[in-house]
Amino acid sequence: MHYVYIIKSLRDGSHYTGTTINLRRRLYEHNEGMSPPTKGRIPYHLVWYSAFTDEQIAIRFEKYLKTGSGIAFARKRLVPVIPLK
C-alpha cells in the first residue's frame, strides 16, 4: 500500500503532507527530526491519511493536496480547523 498523509505540528499548528509505504515509520522519522522539511516543528501527530494500491495515483494526489485548490480541499474536507475560543 501507498499512503498519503497529513501531519500537524503540536508546536505551531502547521501541516505537512507526504507519501510513504510505511506510515508508522514515517511518523517516527518526522518526530525524531530525520526529515529536514519538518525538523524545526516537532512534535507531530497524524491527522489524516488515505491508502492507495497504485503508487502513481498516491503521488498525484499528494501533489494535488500541495496546490492552492488542494490545500483548500484538505482544509474543508480532510482536516477541518477547530476555531479558537
* 25 CB-side CA count, 13 A: 5
- Cα–Cα distance, 18 to 42 (Å, whole number): 16
Show the cell assigned to 63: 501533489
* Residue 7 contacts residue 44 (beta carbons within 8 Å): yes
12: in domain:
yes
83: in domain:
no
Cell 485548490 belongs to 69
84: in domain:
no
- pTM, 2 dp: 0.90
Which tens digit of pLDDT belongs to each residue from 4-47?
Answer: 999 999 999 999 999 999 999 999 999 999 999 999 999 999 99
Planar angle of CA 19, 17, 9, nearest 5 degrees = 125
39: in domain:
yes
